[in-house]
Structure formats: C-alpha cells, structure tokens
A = this chain, B = another copy of it.
Amino acid sequence: MICQSYEPFFKTLADPTKLEIINLLSKGPLCVSIIAMKLGFEQSRVSHNLKALADLHFVTALRKGKERIYALDEKVVMPILKLIDQYVERYDKHMCKCKGIPWRRRA
C-alpha cells in the first residue's frame, strides 16, 4: 500500500525553495537567519520550509543559544540524490545545461 506520507515526501522535493535549502545545507549546517540571508528569503519563509523539511526527516535541528542550527539528515538525502542521478543519467542528460539552482556534481 502507498502510504499517505509519500505525497508530502515528494511534494517537498518538488518545491524549489526546499531544494535550495537542501542544496545550501549540503555544504554544512546553518542557522535560520543565515539561510535566509544567503538565499534572499524572508525569515518566516525559511522557518516554514525548514519545519516541513524537519517533519519529513530531511533535516535535523539543534539549539545553540538563541539560534537553531539545521543540518541535512544525510541518511535520507543521499539516496534521493542518487535517485536523481539515475534518472538524469538515463533521460535528462541533455537538460543538464543546468541553469537554475547550483548543485553538486555527480558522485
């Protein structure tokens, strides 16, 4: 049976804002305001999106003073990146002019 959870799982990955956050965090953990600054997003927007990411275990949070440091949960994110690679490898080579969001090179 398909779990209800698949829908939010993939919806998250379909959202550019969340993908950009994932991408940024792939370089290392950061607090909310830094993420907001680096991406040029509003603080509340970042918080809302981080909450969604955390609900799905894409990221984890820990306190540090007043700040909250968010980090990727690699165990979840890496398989996703691998999946993307497989798909792109097979069908979207030509689309990889890769205008748009910056991203790591293939593993």
A residues neighboring B (CB under 8 Å): 1-11, 13-16, 19, 23, 56-57, 75-76, 79-80, 83-84, 86-88, 90-92, 95-96, 98-103
Contact = CB atoms under 8 A, between A and B. Distances in A.
A85 B51 CA distance: 23
A87 to B, nearest CB: 6
A92 B7 contact: no
At the interface, is chain A mostly helix, strand, loop or mixed?
helix
A96 B3 contact: yes
Copies of this chain in the oligomer? 2
Contacts of A101: 1-2
B10 A14 contact: yes
Contacts of A88: 3, 5
Given A10-B10, A14-B11, A14-B14, A3 B83 contact: no
